[in-house]
Structure 1
């Protein structure tokens, strides 16, 4: 079943979550009408290769244009044409960005489908949803809007104050220009009295305006401290969780809007204070409130501007190698990586080229091979992003040692010197691709358990993770890399394998870093994470369609496997991952013995080396063993619980033209299963003949028949 059809069958609350993914950048109408094409393309890779993104998007536009011409409904045809025009512009302007949007949407759809199948969210995802609650955003929007309105009203108040002062100044200078002889007249006394009243009103208005400005400054200060900075910290925490496969990261554009509006208010207030400074050059008097209060208020505004802009300098995209876009924060020596920094304050005053310096591991052995300085060019299409590519080298032995990547810039705005600095989350450096699984385990563990941005000594004494947290992250790995997450039953089996039967049902049970990644599983020469990661690789490279069609039960113990199969029809089989081999999948089917009891037959696990030769669906289709009837038969009839084999795997079969080649290879690969049958029916003598047969050319599995063996 296609991914889009699965979404249409979800509960409304999950469909609404999908709805939030789509906007003007990538309308849901396109997702609907071109669902088959969209799901059949590799957008993850395209998001990191511009030429591929350009081709895929060009094909998408061609299909959309064709769809427009074929659409019979006038209104729908009109909407599609309008969308086509908008999309065409965006695809040409930034193909990588558009491919990334589509990739993110598809990945988040899979996560929502996975969540719906589990029917409950884990503690991390719940906390992430709470952090971006709609009501909190609405409150923030209202508060920023009120401040903007107050500041704009202050503009009018300052202008009114200037008009009052000009009127007073004019009358005062007119009075001074009068003949001294006329100053003691009654008219002159009345004029002096009127001037005093005007000065009193002017003093009152100055004090009133300064009081209002002080209140607005306090409100902005409170907004930054109590809401804006916490929202930024929450976004950074969500970014950490997103890095390890968590929910889609959103909210940065909203943050930029809040930061920009707040900065605009502060700069507007700074101009108002500058205006007050100009007014006292013309008119001042004893106990004038402006020279008494303005300097302190000006310092407060500059302080807030400085720290607001300083905190708005963030890493939008964490360092990532283009070859492994879904595993950020792992850098291989000698390989390019990309990262983006972004200034969340967008003002005309800062719309100029800003030089950003990159520093890798201050005072340590790594160095950037290319230039360490890049220019930030604020562009509307990228929302003010800076994309930077670097290459670094260095002698390194890979442990859990963490490294840092910092960004620095300096600029002056309206007389305020601002030193910008931000850093990526800690990086893991590897020197060989074989070290990637261990590096990714470190990235997951760190970002799961701490929100400290520069805790480079974390693995000197790593924290423990609760099974509730860890199981959620493990499910995300399958959702991200294999398209479908794990259900409760599968996670329970993993918990048993990692912690034992008793602890597996307890979400609060603590798991150590060593237990997860360092210690070997009892009786094996590999760790729990090495075993699980090898399964992820196997799915991604050889089993993806079967996994996403929910045909693989996967994580199930032999005891549970037998309990599931014992009462089923003969020939019922299930697929599970090997517990004894790294990256292996096996199948077990049930038969009925002569005594009427169920017997179970399993095959030697298929690993990547065997699956490289044949698709797994074809192996299941063409698998044969010798039976009592002397003719090789396929014992696999029903995928557990009772799905006919061809119904479950039929759409994944290769064409029949390859079947002869497949049978030839399968007849050799099936040796282990045939060996089991021969031992039962013919004994060791015929087994020796079987071994002779395997050394002769074989064209079809039918040559394993009893008659063929006797002819030898």
Structure 2
């Protein structure tokens, strides 16, 4: 009997050692999976999302698809490793429960450790699947009601774990919620059960669901190509007792400062015996406009967010209210190229000119530029528009009317009236210059030099031309037809005017020439400029140098002008204008205990030290209860 107990004790020691080895290897594997998963989600996926955000202000992100495919491969790898570890832990635990039901402290300890590991792996898998649901194509930052938008969501674990068969009849729905609601969702401050159902929608979307499909590249995605925002909820009215001016201010802020988010939700699906998955994701914060006049303010708010806000909505993240000029200049440079489609980027001299609009002169220690200064505060005391309104209108002007001028360098653009006058005066030959007005939004002015009665050079700046003015007569036509510019050969500094005009079709410059079949002859609008203080009796048709300001045009067709006040220059006049602008093991009862069975020589060997701690704090930071539920 004693010999049998001795041999049984030896065998049991081997068994306990093997159990310990298995538990240790499972623990090491779980720890390794947790480490890789944390790096994948907190670093690689976060970086991809941040670059996706910056791409919406024009920062290049050419390899976004390749990078996301690489991230998907890592999600798939971790899903497989997790599943294998989970199955092995569950299988080992099942073997323990099927063994002799005796009081075995080591078996109890092993079962408890295996149960803990299985729970940790389940928690990691839930997080992995929920975080793999991403917006692969973000909607436009500013959505317009009654206009279609395009977006796409993707499940990065692909068809691993047989998820595809669970999603055969599964749809992805989209609805629009307030950004405040999106932050509550992300911070899980709402009831976890049916969170997405509880979320309050603030608008209506047509074609608000799509099927999850898998393409030949292994992308499991839902594409929304025909969805339309049909309605957005009205904002709250201002408090009672407010003045009329305050009401206007509150309404304006409510219409252009309210952010929203698109909430995407996959129908709950079962995965093995792990429970139901309730997976959702959010778009980046978006703005909504119901009228074109709101576009400028909405674009200003969203560009600031895309450039400087965190991609995360987690608690503790604060909005950036002020930034250094160099950071803002970098964003403006990219936004300018993205919006206008121009090949020519903003130069250092352009950016220096822009900085003068926002920074105090001759102050070495400049304060950061606030969003209020950037998009809300008037550019100067004598104008009624902000820096962003002025810059946005210039981008619209270039995109719609002056893109060729800008790309070819024919348009200096960002230069002050005084500097333009000085540059033209110092030129060795007569030149004219094209610049953007800084007293009127979205307007271009022609500056040139004429000689007065005493033969002295005098700079002139024509009243600025808006998009509406250029609709009536293009800038090329104005240059070609203006009598004062006919004798000026060079566009500043030394570009041949005729070479520039050849780029434009002759039909655009001279509308007509052929007799009309109705017997009428076609006419053309000719731009003239008054460059003398006294009215001239010389007719435009006779080729006089100083034609009447009315000429062929009526006075109503003239743009409001700018006052020219350099020394020795003549004023033309000014009329300011402005535009409106996101198990435990069941305790077993045995017939005895292992010590009594193996004899007095046996001593139970527990693990010399606890299992290595697995850091799952990063999982808790995402609060997976927001992503899944057991039913």
Any residues of structure 2 matched to 1:235-314 within 5 Å, and which? 235-248=48-61, 250=64, 251-280=67-96, 286=104, 287-288=106-107, 290-314=110-134
Using the alignment, how far apart are the partners of 2:336 and 2:321 within structure 1? 24
- When structure 1 is superposed on structure 2, of 416-425 and 594-603 the one drifting more is 594-603
Using the alignment, how far apart are the partners of 1:562 and 1:688 within structure 2? 20
Structure with the bigger percentage of helix? 1
- Equivalent position to 2:367, from 506, 509, 517: 509
Deviations 1:460-499 (A, max 9, x none): x972233222222221221102223311211121121233
- Equivalent position to 2:38, from 218, 225, 243: 225
Query: Residues 431, 217 of structure 1: CA spacing in aligned structure 2 closer, same or farther, 3 A cutoff?
Result: same
Partner of 2:232: 394
Query: Residues 692, 224 of structure 1: CA spacing in aligned structure 2 closer, same or farther, 3 A cutoff?
Result: closer
Q: Is the 8 A contact 2:536 2:546 kept in 1?
A: no
Any residues of structure 2 matched to 1:545-694 within 5 Å, and which? 545-591=404-450, 597-620=456-479, 622-625=480-483, 634-650=486-502, 652-655=503-506, 659=510, 661=512, 668-671=525-528, 673=529, 675-676=530-531, 679=534, 690=548, 694=552
- Equivalent position to 1:476, from 318, 334, 359: 334
Q: Is the 8 A contact 1:539 1:547 kept in 2?
A: yes
SS in 1 for 2:346: coil
**Does 2:151 correspond to 1:339?**
yes
Partner of 1:533: 392
Using the alignment, how far apart are the partners of 1:667 and 1:635 within structure 2? 21
Query: Residues 426, 689 of structure 1: CA spacing in aligned structure 2 closer, same or farther, 3 A cutoff?
Result: closer
TM-score normalized by the length of structure 2: 0.68
Query: Residues 202, 393 of structure 1: CA spacing in aligned structure 2 closer, same or farther, 3 A cutoff?
Result: same
Using the alignment, how far apart are the partners of 2:10 and 2:57 within structure 1? 69
Any residues of structure 2 matched to 1:73-112 within 5 Å, and which? none
Q: CA deviation at 1:603?
A: 2.3
Deviations 1:586-630 (A, max 9, x none): 22223566767543232222221232244433443x23316xxxx
TM-score normalized by the length of structure 1: 0.61
Partner of 2:25: 212
Using the alignment, how far apart are the partners of 2:414 and 2:142 within structure 1? 28
Q: Is the 8 A contact 1:332 1:430 kept in 2?
A: yes
Partner of 1:412: 270
SS in 1 for 2:260: coil
Using the alignment, how far apart are the partners of 1:491 and 1:217 within structure 2? 52
Partner of 2:186: none
Q: CA deviation at 1:264?
A: 1.6
Deviations 1:15-45 (A, max 9, x none): xxxxxxxxxxxxxxxxxxxxxxxxxxxxxxx
Q: CA deviation at 1:294?
A: 1.4
Query: Residues 618, 451 of structure 1: CA spacing in aligned structure 2 closer, same or farther, 3 A cutoff?
Result: same
Using the alignment, how far apart are the partners of 2:545 and 2:454 within structure 1? 25
CA RMSD across the alignment: 3.9
SS in 1 for 2:383: coil
**Does 2:135 correspond to 1:315?**
yes
**Does 2:239 correspond to 1:403?**
no
Partner of 2:202: 366
Q: Is the 8 A contact 2:146 2:228 kept in 1?
A: no
Using the alignment, how far apart are the partners of 1:662 and 1:272 within structure 2? 88
Deviations 1:149-202 (A, max 9, x none): xxxxxxxxxxxxxxxxxxxxxxxxxxxxxxxxxx99xxxx89x99887666545
Deviations 1:531-574 (A, max 9, x none): 21111111111111221223221110112212322221333222
Q: Is the 8 A contact 1:618 1:654 kept in 2?
A: no
- Equivalent position to 2:309, from 447, 450, 453: 450
SS in 2 for 1:393: strand
SS in 2 for 1:566: helix
SS in 2 for 1:338: strand
Q: CA deviation at 1:530?
A: 1.7
Using the alignment, how far apart are the partners of 2:315 and 2:376 within structure 1? 19
- When structure 1 is superposed on structure 2, of 413-422 and 377-386 the one drifting more is 377-386
SS in 2 for 1:404: strand
SS in 1 for 2:58: coil
Q: CA deviation at 1:690?
A: 3.9
Partner of 1:103: none
Q: Is the 8 A contact 1:589 1:635 kept in 2?
A: no
| Structure 1 unpaired stretches of 5+ | 1-182, 320-327, 627-632, 697-712
SS in 2 for 1:415: coil
Q: Is the 8 A contact 1:535 1:583 kept in 2?
A: yes
SS in 2 for 1:276: helix
SS in 2 for 1:676: coil
Using the alignment, how far apart are the partners of 2:473 and 2:315 within structure 1? 45
Using the alignment, how far apart are the partners of 1:215 and 1:657 within structure 2? 75
Q: CA deviation at 1:213?
A: 1.9
**Does 2:215 correspond to 1:379?**
yes
Q: CA deviation at 1:680?
A: 8.5
Partner of 2:347: 487
Q: Is the 8 A contact 2:526 2:553 kept in 1?
A: no
Query: Residues 554, 303 of structure 1: CA spacing in aligned structure 2 closer, same or farther, 3 A cutoff?
Result: same
Deviations 1:370-415 (A, max 9, x none): 3654332233358222223243313435131222322223222222
Using the alignment, how far apart are the partners of 1:552 and 1:271 within structure 2? 69
